[in-house]
């Protein structure tokens, strides 16, 4: 025989303050099937039971009123701490659930993270996102009740700071050489949640604190190590360093011999220059007579002829006046030997 219980309103409306937020179903039907039930949303109190069979016939001996009792409501809150490893740039949030009410001991599971089976009340994670703890007490376990979900606040992490920068100058943009007295522009391309930046230009000048470094001028040639150190919101530091070679800002070399003999090698003679905006070259014979002159930012060179006639083997004088990109004016001269 299939019997149903029709639970009607309780004789008392008394309920504990711990469950005032619960809604109450005043008419619920449950089937007896030999298993255990979990009665939800009922306040504590005394309930009369009306029992009928499948033919709607009442029991000859009514069931006495049933008094429902409820343990204290299960409540929970979370505490959390952060473990920061600056060496590996890892932030780990350690979450602990504190449970009250119900009938302990409690059964706790988590929706994610890392949990030690020996202490299921603690979950740790380094992955941002939404997480929940699911709690059941002995009463719920015994009666087959589902666990109660307690969601954590959204877990977020700051981004660790990674230092990085580039640099350039007008002189280097023109010809790839960094020069003394030419302002170097440093470009901060660091990433992360950074709170401070410290620049060290490697030449003994005071360190500079700021997001964007100022232009820096080097007064002497040499190789300097430039460092940028950043501090992020976790208090971790990261440093990036790079070497910069500072030169006089130009190069000019005078060759001393050439062989214009038609073999395609050393057919002309000219100065080798870098970072020059204008070059004037003049060739004189040993008596001081000008036999060739050329002005350009890209000198072609003397081909060993004088007015179209091949010059004699021997010694000549090359005189060069050049203007560098940084404004420096260079004047050089030296002997040149023509060999056929």
For the stretch 176-217, pLDDT in tens is 999 999 999 999 999 999 999 999 999 999 999 988 878 999
Residue 8 has pLDDT above 80, yes or no: no
Number of domains the chain contains: 4
Taking only the tens place, the pLDDT of each residue in 242-270 is: 999 999 999 999 999 999 988 889 999 99
Q: What is the dihedral of CA 303, 304, 308, 310, to 10 degrees?
A: -140
* CA–CA separation, 321 and 332 (whole Å): 6
For the ranges 12-26, 86-100, 298-312, the one whose mean pLDDT is highest: 86-100
The stretch 154-171 carries a mean pLDDT of: 97
**Residue 193 domain-assigned?**
yes
Q: Does the residue 268 lie in any domain? A: yes
**Burial of residue 144, with CB atoms counted within 10 A of its CB: 0-12 exposed, 13-18 middle, 19 or more buried:** exposed
Buried b (16+ CB within 10 A) or exposed e, 152-166: beebebeebbebebe
CATH code for the domain in which residue 309 is found: 2.60.40
Q: Which of 16-25, 76-85, 178-187, 285-294 has the lowest mean pLDDT?
A: 16-25
Domain boundary among 216, 247, 278: 247
Domain boundary among 51, 70, 89: 70
Of 18, 36, 70, which residue constitutes the final position of a domain? 70
Token code pair at residue 332: 């050089």
* Residues whose CB is less than 8 angstroms from the CB of residue 289 and which lie 6 or more positions away in sequence, other chains included: none
What 16-22 contacts at long range (C-beta under 8 Å, 24+ apart), as own/partner pairs, is 16/44, 16/70, 16/72, 18/72, 18/73, 18/101, 19/43, 19/44, 19/70, 19/73
328 and 297 within one domain:
yes
Based on the domain organization, do 109 and 36 belong to the same domain? no
Cα separation, 215 vs 185, whole angstroms = 5
pTM, to two decimals: 0.72
Determine how many CB atoms are found less than 10 A away from the CB of residue 181: 15
Residues 83 and 141 in one domain: yes
Domain that holds residue 35: 1-70
Same domain, 147 and 174: no
Residue 130 pLDDT more than 90? yes
For residues 236 and 295, state if they share a domain.
no
DSSP percent split of the chain into helix, strand, coil, nearest 5: 5, 50, 50
Q: Is the dihedral of CA 180, 181, 185, 190 positive or negative?
A: positive
Residue 317: predicted pLDDT = 97
DSSP state of 153: P
Report the sign of the C-alpha dihedral through residues 95, 99, 104, 109, in that order.
Answer: negative
For residue 175, what pLDDT band results from cuts at 50, 70 and 90?
A: very high
DSSP 8-state assignment for residue 75: E
């Amino acid at each position: 025989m299939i019997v149903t219980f029709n639970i009607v309103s309780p004789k008392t409306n008394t309920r504990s303050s711990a469950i005032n937020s619960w809604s109450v179903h005043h008419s619920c039907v449950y089937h007896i099937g030999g298993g255990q039930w979990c009665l939800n949303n009922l306040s504590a109190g005394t309930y009369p039971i009306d029992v009928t069979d499948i033919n709607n016939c009442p029991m000859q001996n009514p069931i006495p009123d049933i008094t429902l009792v409820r343990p204290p409501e299960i409540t929970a809150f979370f505490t959390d701490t952060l473990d920061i490893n600056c060496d590996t740039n890892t932030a780990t949030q350690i979450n602990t659930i504190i449970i009250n009410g119900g009938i302990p001991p409690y059964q706790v599971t988590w929706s994610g993270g890392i949990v030690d089976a020996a202490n299921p009340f603690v979950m740790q994670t380094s992955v941002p996102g939404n997480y929940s703890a699911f709690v059941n007490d002995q009463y719920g376990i015994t009666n087959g009740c589902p666990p109660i979900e307690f969601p954590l606040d959204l877990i977020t992490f700051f981004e660790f700071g990674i230092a990085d920068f580039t640099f350039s100058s007008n002189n280097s943009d023109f010809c790839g050489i960094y020069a003394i007295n030419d302002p170097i522009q440093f470009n901060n391309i660091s990433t992360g949640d950074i709170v401070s930046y410290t620049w060290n230009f490697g030449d003994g000048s005071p360190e500079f604190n700021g997001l964007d470094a100022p232009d820096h001028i080097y007064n002497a040639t040499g190789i300097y190590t430039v460092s940028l150190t950043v501090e992020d919101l976790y208090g971790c530091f990261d440093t990036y360093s790079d070497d910069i070679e500072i030169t006089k800002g130009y190069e000019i070399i005078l060759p001393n011999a050439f062989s214009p003999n038609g073999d395609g090698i050393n057919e002309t003679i000219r100065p080798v220059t870098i970072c020059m905006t204008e070059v004037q070259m003049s060739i004189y014979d040993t008596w001081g007579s000008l036999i060739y002159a050329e002005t350009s930012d890209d000198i072609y060179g003397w081909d060993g002829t004088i007015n179209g006639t091949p010059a004699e083997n021997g010694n000549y004088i090359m005189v060069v006046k050049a203007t560098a990109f940084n404004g420096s004016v260079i004047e050089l001269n030296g002997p040149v030997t023509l060999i056929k």
